[in-house]
């Protein structure tokens, strides 16, 4: 089966794509506007040409995906140093060289998988192929960059039952080939799109897609073992897109695809370059045991992700600012009152109307609420 329309780029595609990027003025202008916004506004041609020369100097001799990622690694480290107050991790003993499907909660368009890849890089394991929605891809520089970085395409909003089955079957076959033949691990989100509301729940449909190619040949439990299915839980102390998420995207209903794509790229950049506070990732143990069905498996994944989610003081502060939740003040740390975290959240949410501000705070509070509910088995 030909996977060239959805697959990550192969080594023989790297140099031609690098050449394309070296001559892409739109790409150079985009990066210069991000990194040097003030100077770029005054001297757009100067900064654009500088970025073009810088990119060529770094990547012109790049001839493989691994070379591309090795050059990118220091840039990722620089991003972590500039935009976080520290990156920590636990569960790294659960990493191995065995091809694995990592299934994780999804908070940021590009960074969730980037932090996992950086962790794998630090431990000298191969990086993952990354599932990304086709809403981010338009055949331009963003698609080239992401597919050079081992991203593959997940089609969304497919019309018609036959077309849906065809595309999901092809995607499932590509993922299975990645694991079995290419010996490449996979990262995929536990549900389509980001968890913009702070609820890290698993969509059973994602699991049905993953299992689709193998459902006639192996039992669900055997398949889970064979792919080394490993949940990943990532948490950000502060979300650079928290205000945007609290407002929602209803205003985009009348936008065309080009405008939506440009906005997605803008939000991706804001996530990468925005301040995130501390970031923690936990690698759960690979799942084992007997699973009755994909719903049972989804519940197991959800339990691991929520149970191992690292709670920051920002979650306690958000819940303390929501007295209407009427939770008896039993969930959050009572010492959080009149804290710096509360003041930070109040500052970040300035100017939001009451509905948006409540959603802003709930986005931070829900991981704490969900974690406690999972412990005590309270009704949602």
Q: What is the pLDDT of residue 190?
A: 96
Q: CA nearest 209: which of 193, 192, 226?
A: 192
Tens of pLDDT, residue by residue over 19-54, are 999 999 999 988 888 887 776 776 778 888 999 999
Residues 200/370, Cβ–Cβ less than 8 Å: yes
Domains, the chain, in order of start with CATH, read 63-307 (3.40.1130), 313-376 (no CATH)
pLDDT of residue 331: 67
Write out the H or E segment, with its range, that includes residue 141. helix 141-148
Residue 18 vs residues 32, 57, 142, 288: alpha-carbon distances, Å:
18, 11, 12, 42
Residue 329: predicted pLDDT: 52
Q: In the beta sheet, which residues pair with residue 154? A: 133
Distance (Å) of CA 147 to CA 74, 226, 235: 19, 26, 25
* pLDDT for the residue 377: 59
Give me the pLDDT at residue 254, please. 76
Residue with tokens 């009451």: 354
User: What does the pLDDT read at residue 265?
Assistant: 83
The model's pTM is 0.92
The answer to whether 177 touches 218, Cβ cutoff 8 Å, is no
Helix (H) or strand (E) holding 330: none
Tens place of pLDDT per residue across the chain (380 aa): 899 999 999 999 999 999 999 999 999 988 888 887 776 776 778 888 999 999 999 999 999 999 999 999 999 999 999 999 999 999 999 999 999 999 999 999 889 999 999 999 999 999 999 999 887 777 789 899 999 999 999 988 788 889 999 999 999 999 999 999 999 999 999 998 888 899 999 999 999 999 999 999 999 999 999 999 999 999 999 999 999 999 987 766 777 777 877 788 888 889 999 999 999 999 999 999 999 999 999 999 999 999 999 999 999 999 989 877 655 556 666 666 568 899 999 999 999 999 999 999 999 999 999 998 887 754 44
């Amino acid at each position: 089966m030909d996977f060239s329309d959805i697959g990550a780029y192969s080594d023989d595609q790297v140099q031609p794509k690098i050449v394309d990027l070296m001559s892409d003025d739109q790409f150079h202008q985009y990066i210069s506007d991000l990194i040097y916004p003030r100077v770029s506004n005054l001297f757009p041609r100067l900064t654009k040409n500088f970025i073009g020369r810088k990119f060529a100097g770094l990547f012109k001799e790049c001839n493989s995906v691994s070379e591309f990622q090795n050059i990118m690694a220091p840039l990722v480290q620089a991003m972590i140093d500039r935009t976080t107050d520290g990156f920590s991790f636990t569960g790294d003993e659960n990493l191995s060289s065995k091809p694995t499907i990592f299934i994780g909660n999804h908070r940021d368009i590009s960074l969730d998988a980037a932090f996992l890849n950086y962790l794998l890089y630090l431990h000298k394991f191969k990086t993952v192929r990354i599932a990304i929605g086709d809403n981010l891809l338009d055949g331009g520089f963003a698609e080239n960059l992401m597919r050079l970085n081992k991203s593959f395409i997940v089609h969304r909003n497919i019309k018609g039952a036959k077309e849906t089955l065809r595309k999901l079957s092809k995607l499932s076959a590509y993922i299975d080939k990645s694991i079995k033949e290419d010996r490449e691990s996979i990262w995929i989100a536990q549900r389509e799109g980001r968890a913009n509301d702070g609820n890290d729940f698993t969509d059973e449909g994602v699991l049905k897609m993953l299992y689709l190619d193998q459902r006639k040949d192996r039992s669900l439990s055997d398949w889970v073992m064979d792919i080394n299915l490993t949940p990943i839980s990532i948490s950000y102390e502060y979300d650079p897109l928290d205000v945007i998420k609290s407002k929602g995207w209803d205003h985009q209903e009348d936008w065309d695809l080009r405008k939506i794509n440009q906005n997605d790229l803008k939000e991706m950049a804001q996530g990468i370059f925005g301040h995130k506070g501390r970031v923690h990732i936990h690698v759960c143990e690979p799942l084992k045991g007997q699973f009755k069905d994909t719903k049972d498996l989804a519940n197991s994944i959800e339990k691991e992700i929520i149970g191992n989610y690292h709670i920051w003081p920002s979650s306690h502060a958000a819940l303390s600012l929501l007295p209407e939740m009427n939770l008896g003040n039993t969930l959050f740390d009572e010492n959080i009152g009149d804290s710096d975290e509360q003041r930070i959240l109040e500052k970040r949410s300035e100017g939001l109307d009451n509905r948006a501000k409540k959603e802003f705070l709930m986005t931070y509070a829900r991981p704490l609420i969900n974690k406690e509910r999972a412990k005590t088995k309270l009704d949602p």
